[in-house]
Amino acid sequence: MTYANVGTLGAAPGKRDELVAHLTQRSMELADAGCLLYEVGVSDDRPDTVFVVELWTSAEAHRASLQLPAAQASIAAARPLLSGEFGGFDFSVVGSPLRD
Amino acid sequence: MTYANVGTLGAAPGKRDELVAHLTQRSMELADAGCLLYEVGVSDDRPDTVFVVELWTSAEAHRASLQLPAAQASIAAARPLLSGEFGGFDFSVVGSPLRD
């Protein structure tokens, strides 16, 4: 069942755009691990926050992806760019009005 | 610029699945209005909540869609299914690691 993970990441002062650049670096591993969609964004309303919407083939695929060496390296590299504030939620996709 | 709208909708007691059915009714109007993705879901952790992730061609397209007669009718029909609790956030998409 498709799994959705939606999050907000607080950026360290002055580091938002660097965090965006980090999160949008082309990654073949993500698709191979079952990532269907990974959109990164910003909002004028919350200038120190980076927003992420992810869709995965399953919750298990998402969980497993976090253990990949490339993911571990990416998380370590992101650490200095983060404020430590996180938000968001996750859920199981059950349908869409755009398809039967 | 692609616009993301992510939300949680509290369901009236016992109405979650009816709210899901309502939100996933096939809608041609959505795609015509610029909706690129509209995923509806649930989570065991929050059994009275319905989750929605939407991507639109622009924030303006999303805003304009809410004024369409079909959207107004849909919102009116959903009202008895809602608890009145809403959450979420919106943002402008700036990139994805899945594409250049």
- Dump pLDDT digits (tens) for A16-62: 999 999 999 999 899 999 999 999 999 999 999 999 999 999 999 99
Question: Which of the four pLDDT bands, split at 50, 70 and 90, describes residue A13?
Answer: very high
Q: Is the pLDDT of residue B28 over 90?
A: no
**Chain-chain contact of A37 with B98 (C-beta, under 8 angstroms):** yes
Q: How far is residue A57's CA from residue B96's CA, in Å, rounded to a whole number?
A: 17
Residue A100: pLDDT band with limits 50, 70, 90? confident
Q: What does the alpha-carbon distance between residue B72 and residue B69 come to, in Å, rounded to a whole number?
A: 5
Across the interface, whether the CB atoms of A35 and B98 are under 8 A apart is answered yes
Contact yes or no for A40 and B95 at CB 8 A: yes
Show the CA angle centred on residue A100, arms to residues A94 and B4, nearest 5°.
60
Q: Which domains does chain A have, with CATH numbers?
A: 3-90 (3.30.70.100)
- Identity of the residue numbered B89: F
Minimal-distance CA residue of chain B relative to A44: B91
pLDDT at A51: 98
- B97, B22 contact by CB (below 8 A): no
Q: Report whether A67 contacts A75 (CB < 8 A).
A: no
Rounded to two decimals, the ipTM of the complex is 0.95
* Range A67-80 average pLDDT: 93
Confidence band, pLDDT 50/70/90 cuts, at residue B84:
very high
DSSP B66: T
B43 pLDDT higher than 90: yes
Distance CA A7, CA A9 (A): 7
